[in-house]
A and B are shown apart, each in its own frame.
Chain A
Amino acid sequence: MKILIADDETLSRKLLEKILQRAGYDVIAVENGRLAAEQLCQPEGPRLALLDWMMPELDGPGVCREVRRRRKLSYVHMILLTSKESKEDIVQGLQSGADDYLIKPCDPEELKARLRTGLRILDLEEKLVEAREDMRFKATHDPLTSLFNRGVILDLLGRELARTYREKGCTTLLLGDVDHFKIVNDTYGHAAGDDVLQEIARRLLASVRSYDFVGRYGGEEFLIVLNSCNATFAFARAEEIRRAVANIAVQTTRGPIRVTMSFGLLSSADWGVRPLEELLHETDAALYASKASGRNCSSIARPKTSCAAQQLPLHAPSGRTH
């Protein structure tokens, strides 16, 4: 465990450094408060600190205040070292953001015991952060595929559309549905069906760029948001993604299963400012056009702005399986 010692007095620094090295700490020693704050505010900086109260540049309480203000991601346990023993001084030190204080000169055993307390607090904080991140993930991701869940992908889509409109860019919505998925479930069982959905999720994610979004929209429906995707290339991208699913059979617990997907797509350059629901409805209509024209293909939605929505299947299916 890394620990920072900040003390302007060489003798005191050396004494603390030796005691803590012997106790197994990885010690960083600095001689003023400014250097201490810089070290502690680094993302991978020490999370335990012993700070002398009176130091040049920035005193111990000043370091505590700065660290509390600047380092937000992980908690730093800070102990003030002081020869001040008045109640007012101690209250002032703790109010600056220090977690504990020790009267100088420190007894080595007491110092190590206080640091063990600090380590317990840091350990507890790590567990809490882990639990919070776990809950955040569960609240935003689909439990089976680990893709964004419906709420999140729609939220991301909404934000992306707003940005696209503001920047006069282009976004493509791609709605995909696994063809004949009910037959997969009925024939091979739900466990194999789950294997298929998980593998499709992996292939969809592998087929898009790091700044695109993929979410599970419904049972076997997936929504892909292709950011900054020019309408000219959107269809070709949709076809690449479709082929990534169709070309290789999915390995499941019940053996390999060939699956295909149908897609509907809509590119923002065509639609102007429209409610999200309308856009999704039109993309869905394009998806159904793909289904109607034999599945395992992609169709472009024609925006409502001209007249009624219409979809043109642009790709004839080939090698369809389920």
Chain B
Amino acid sequence: MQNPVQNTAGLVVNFAELLERVENDHELLWDLLAIFKKDFPRHRDSLIEAIARAEMKQVESSSHTLKGMFSNLAMTRAAAAAAHLEQMGRNGERAGLEDALAHFEHELASLLPELDAYLKGARR
């Protein structure tokens, strides 16, 4: 597991911030990440579906939920990507939605392996 040493805004998961948030309770952190692993695919699917149908209210709502989950877990970059999608959904901005989704997926591509590595290393 990597520890943050420099620019935290660029981190996939800011574990220092995350541990502070859970008051250094590693068991709680493990539980939260397990909840994330379980709930995340449903919200991601919902977002992808909403984008495919251009249902902007649903884009806003799903992105908002994902943003909340990422923020709670100090997944800064993914949270920023979800916030961008939420903003587009709120403003009804259809143009650029696919690009924003691609960026979001790109962030997930680096996030999910890091998360799996943590869960493997921290298995109870």
Name A's B-contacting residues (CB within 8 A): 8-12, 14-15, 18-19, 22, 54, 83, 104-105, 107-108
Contact = CB atoms under 8 A, between A and B. Distances in A.
6 contacts: A9-B68, A11-B68, A14-B35, A18-B28, A19-B23, A108-B23
B65 interface: yes
Interface string B14-50: 0000001111010010011001100100000000000
Contacts of A10: 35, 39
Interface residues of B, number: 21
B8 interface: no
Interface of B: 20-23, 25, 28, 31-32, 35-36, 39, 61, 64-65, 67-69, 71-74
Contact of B68 (A19, A104, A108): A104
A11 B21 contact: no
Interface-central residue, A11, A15, A18, A22, by most chain B CB under 10 Å? A11
Contact of A83 (B21, B25, B32, B68): B68
B34 to A, nearest CB: 10
Contacts of B72: 9, 11-12, 15, 104-105
A72 B71 CA distance: 36
A105 B35 CA distance: 16
A88 to B, nearest CB: 14
A11 B36 contact: yes
A54 B63 CA distance: 12
Nearest to B60: A54
Contacts of B20: 107-108
A199 B68 CA distance: 66
Given A104-B68, A108-B23, 7 more contacts: A8-B65, A11-B69, A14-B32, A15-B21, A54-B64, A105-B21, A105-B68
Contact of A22 (B23, B32, B61): B23
A309 to B, nearest CB: 80
Tell me the dominant secondary structure on chain B's binding face: helix
A261 to B, nearest CB: 69
Top 10 nearest A-B pairs by Cβ distance? A11-B35, A105-B71, A105-B72, A18-B28, A9-B68, A10-B35, A11-B69, A12-B72, A11-B32, A108-B23
* Best-surrounded residue of A8, A10, A105 (most CB of chain B within 10 A): A105
Question: Could you tell me the dominant secondary structure of chain A's interface residues?
Answer: helix
B73 A11 contact: yes
B94 to A, nearest CB: 22
A11 B39 contact: yes
A18 B24 CA distance: 12
Contacts of B31: 14
Contacts of A8: 65
A73 B17 CA distance: 41
Contacts of B64: 54, 83
Contacts of B32: 11, 14-15
A114 to B, nearest CB: 16
A22 B27 CA distance: 13
Contacts of B68: 9, 11-12, 83, 104-105
A58 to B, nearest CB: 15
A15 B28 contact: yes
Contacts of A14: 28, 31-32, 35
A9 B40 CA distance: 11
A9 B22 CA distance: 17
A264 B36 CA distance: 79
Nearest to A8: B65
A83 B67 contact: yes
Nearest to A108: B23
Nearest to B72: A105
A9 B64 CA distance: 10
A244 B19 CA distance: 72
A192 to B, nearest CB: 65
